[in-house]
Amino acid sequence: MAPHAAMHVEVIGCTSAGKSTLARAVEQAGRKRGMDVVTGDDLVLKLLALGWVRDEFVRRRLVDGPALLACLLAWRRHRALVRLALDVSRRSPGSLTRKLNLARNALRKLGLYEIVRRRRAGRLVLVDNEGVLQAAHNLFVHVSAEASDADLQAFLDLTPLPEAVVYVRESRDVLLERTLARGHRRVPAASEQDARRFVDRAVHVFEALVRHPGVRERLVCVDGGRSVALAPEAEREARLRDLAQLLRAGVDLVPTGCARAGADGT
């Protein structure tokens, strides 16, 4: 991939699949090649002249305001998706506070998409956990309720897509093991039965996402954190082939079996 290449890349996958670990490694590999590679949050903070802030909680709060404002300013463009996100959040299980958090997270992700779309300015921007496609995990993956296929299809049809989607796929057994070891706020009892149901439903949602024709034509899969392959529909795109090479360089920097839970608990 040329040093001047610009692309909006969203890294998606189940909790603990290794998205953040891979994104950091790809960022490092890109910079070794002389590329201007940043994460979505870093892009926003640099625009605010706050790139020096390192505390993860503070960084997320600082990004919240611009992202939600960007969503508000672009709501006419995405009004059908905003309505769907609000409706799905309202119908989701849990307390009012939890429903409001689901809606806020979905709108924040949509706002970050808009910021990256408008302000990437020649950079390769990696968005993991905060990507608009990743909002499907927040909205549709619950222990106590299955995702509605109709809602999920509507989400796929309405969601604006980045130029590239990287799906970090991990086996159900590994995801279950990591979920039980680390815990998850959506699996409060930490029972194996609930954790397995949570993992199974997450895998179902993401496998549905990557079957969508619009996603497949820009899809690169990273299986088991090591094997990188383009979807057949994406092979004709030179910049996606270049991205796959960069991903392979990033994978080589990741210790085997290394992964970290998503910062937003998705």
- Reference 194, options 176, 173, 169; nearest CA is 176
pLDDT for residue 226 is more than 90: no
Domain ranges, residue 186:
7-251
Q: What is the CATH number of the domain that holds 197?
A: 3.40.50.300
Q: Note the pLDDT tens digit of each residue in 169-178.
A: 999 999 999 9
pLDDT for residue 4 is more than 60: no
DSSP class of residue 265?
A: -
The answer to whether residue 266 is domain-embedded is no
pLDDT for residue 230 is more than 70: yes
The answer to whether residue 93 is domain-embedded is yes
The Cα–Cα gap between 181 and 199 comes to: 13
Confidence class of residue 259 from pLDDT cuts 50, 70 and 90? Answer: low
The answer to whether residue 261 is domain-embedded is no
Average pLDDT over residues 81-95: 95
The answer to whether residue 137 is domain-embedded is yes
Average pLDDT over residues 165-194: 89
Q: Rounded to a whole number, what is the distance in angstroms from the first to the last CA of the chain?
A: 30
Number of domains in the chain: 1
Residue 186, pLDDT score: 83
pLDDT for residue 90 is more than 70: yes
The Cα–Cα gap between 186 and 195 comes to: 9
The answer to whether residue 256 is domain-embedded is no
Handedness of CA 68, 70, 72, 77 (dihedral sign): negative
Return mean pLDDT, the chain: 91
The answer to whether residue 243 is domain-embedded is yes
Residue 7, pLDDT score: 93
Q: 132 to each of 128, 187, 258, how far by Cα in Å?
A: 10, 23, 25
pLDDT for residue 263 is more than 70: no
Confidence class of residue 121 from pLDDT cuts 50, 70 and 90? Answer: confident
The answer to whether residue 90 is domain-embedded is yes
